[in-house]
Amino acid sequence: MAQHPDRKKWEDLAAKELRTAPLESLTRMTPEGIPVKPLYTAEDLEHIEFVNSLPGFDPFVRGVRATMYAGRPWTIRQYAGFSTARESNAFYKRNLAAGQKGLSIAFDLATHRGYDSDHPRVAGDVGKAGVAVDSVEDMKILFDGIPLDQMSVSMTMNGAVLPVMASYIVAAREQGVALEALDGTIQNDILKEYLTRNTYIYPPEPSMRIVSDIIGYCSKHMPRYNTVSISGYHMMEAGANSVLQAAFTIADGIEYVRAAIASGMDVDTFAGRLSFFFGIGMNFFMDIAMLRAARFLWADLMKQFNPKKPASRMLRTHCQTSGWSLTQQDPYNNIIRTTLEALSAVLGGTQSLHTNSFDEAIGLPTDFSARIARNTQIILQQETSICNVVDPLGGSYYIESLTNSIVQEARKIIAEVATMGGMAKAIAAGMPKMRIEESSARKQARIDQGRDIIVGVNKYQVKEDRAIEVLEVSSAVRDEQVTRLKEIRATRNESEVKRALEAVTSCAAQGGNLLEACIPAMAARATVGEVSDAIEKVFGRYVATTQCISGAFAAEYGESEVIEAIRKRTAGFAEKHGRRPRILVTKMGQDGHDRGYKMISSAYADLGFDVDISPMFQTPAEAARMAIENDVHVVGVSSLAAGHKYLVPEVRKELDEQGGAEIFVVVGGIIPPKDYELLLSSGAVAIFGPGTPVVESANKVLNILEAL
């Protein structure tokens, strides 16, 4: 195609407007390594293989349905769950009455990790970051008055997926609903747990068998239910850029397809019920292009399995706006961020959407904030007219070119994964995790320097934030769950439960479908923890090796006076005390989100600290013992999931009792400001909320140590 006849005139005009700056200065390089030019024309669409495609047709770049939202808008979902099943049920009913169309269930961390609420390792986790579910009785309460044959139910569950899915099936049966009528999605995406989220229970190989068993059972008995939701969302939250999210998510999906086929299934019996889950951040056009690129990549890569049905190559996705982009500072700005992210997901062609509440950088959403988040979607659907046209950005020079760039860059990463033997082996080798952690560290360094602007955080700060209501889950929730567990164990048929649990263990050891084996156990009122333990007898419980990258944070700063100043301070401390300042960064409780914990560890090491990183899921006693044995000066507690009011006082108490009274405790993470006084009075010496620059926190820690 010939160059536009007026291209030279445009260049001359642009150069004149720039005055002294060269025209090339308008080209930007994205974190994904994609150059973004100031002008795109028809020339940029030459040789793009999908540019003339149509919605509803292979390769589905323009959407999976011919009519998309012009025929039916996306499904409005709210990912929610907290406290007890009874409280969550009431919350769901209020949301459904206000316009929500489907349920997305958030389980608490104890449930995710296969522990009952009375287990000593989960004392600070029960009901805090999701709803506590210990048995079928909890599941029945959760859906009381909500007809499961009329409601699409999405459940975010991976580690304890077998007892949770079995409980859902039993609850539906006892509600009188046929399995064939159940509609929704089970996440069942264990690979991303080893990669980012870390709510795994068993080692990778037997966990892949669990995924295949669920695919097999549901494909046979629950034809409307999506058997895997392949998640890139948690990769984005852990720091992945859009290319990494697209590439690793698609590679995970291919791994599941291979596993299902290896178990003897025909691709067309299950591939059409696989779904995806992408995270949408503040890179507006990039994430629109990412969704379009992901649909192309999936359709293209699925060819190798020779599917006969078009649906087997069709990538259907749920999206969620970013939680990481929400700020504690000036939090009402988050409403604007979520709106833009929601619009990006919609213009990218999502099938359903969850919009985060503006207060989630501080605590759990309240009814007030959840209503704003839900209404964001309703307004987009019903007031903007964006549903009138199928793929309104199709044909955009910029969007089509950006989509193609993501396809090409993601293909390189997917090919690299393939040479390693697939995603499971790549994860075992640590490649995807290290790439994501490097991306995260570089992002944080750009924010700290003000190169990536966050309004209210590193620019346009307000002097005083208005106080907002924060929803708090009472510690009495655990007491209520423990009481219900005692009642269930006292009234059930113990011999029947024992036989059912033995059958689960036998199935794990000798073969058979594990979901099918777990259903009778849950029906007999075995608990989530008991079924998990029955499987653990054969599979064991997985313990990951904690590693951390080095150099990425400092490299993004380059030759920086700020970095050098802190390094001089750490060197000066070493001269005075005979060793460098030493910090143990620990993640206690069952929360597996490790972005902040890993990023702080990496950055502090770059700044000259000696850094010890604890294993995930420590108890306060274990963290204190490790701190004392490693002779650290400071314990840095990373907190995200509302367990800080229990965990921080406990680790301080354990340090004092075990002989580490001289060790300081600092805390970082999502902590409501109203809790600061309690934590400080309980032994913490500093608290660093979301948005605190790393160099600022490091200087404050050094101030504390230099006062010794």
List active site positions. Answer: 79, 233-234, 587, 591, 593
Segments in 302-394 forming alpha helices (H) = 333-348, 367-383
C-beta of residue 330 within 8 angstroms of C-beta of residue 358: no
Degrees, nearest 5: CA angle 241-395-310: 75
State the DSSP H helix or E strand holding residue 579, giving kind and residue range, or none if neither. none
Closest Cα partner for 298 from 283, 311, 282?
311
Taking the C-alpha atoms of residue 194 and residue 238, their distance in angstroms, rounded to an integer, is 12
C-beta of residue 200 within 8 angstroms of C-beta of residue 218: no
C-beta of residue 199 within 8 angstroms of C-beta of residue 594: no
C-beta of residue 560 within 8 angstroms of C-beta of residue 567: no
| Distances, alpha carbon 223 to alpha carbons 181, 182, 215, 220, 457, in Å | 8, 8, 10, 7, 47
DSSP code string of 175-239: TT--GGG-EEEE----HHIIIII----S-HHHHHHHHHHHHHHHHHH-TTEE-EEEE-HHHHHHT
Taking the C-alpha atoms of residue 289 and residue 73, their distance in angstroms, rounded to an integer, is 20
Number of other CB atoms surrounding residue 652 within 10 Å:
24
Strands 28-29 and 35-36: antiparallel
Closest Cα partner for 386 from 676, 74, 161, 649?
74
- Helix (H/G/I), strand (E/B), else coil: 266: coil
| Distances, alpha carbon 84 to alpha carbons 131, 147, 172, 365, in Å | 6, 20, 19, 15
Structure tokens given for 486: 């005692």
Strand partners for 231? 277
DSSP code string of 368-432: HHHHHHHHHHHHHHHHS-GGGSSSTTTT-HHHHHHHHHHHHHHHHHHHHHHHTTSHHHHHHHTHH
Strand partners for 666? 636, 686
Q: Which amino acid makes up residue 668?
A: G
- Helix (H/G/I), strand (E/B), else coil: 687: strand
Taking the C-alpha atoms of residue 102 and residue 320, their distance in angstroms, rounded to an integer, is 14
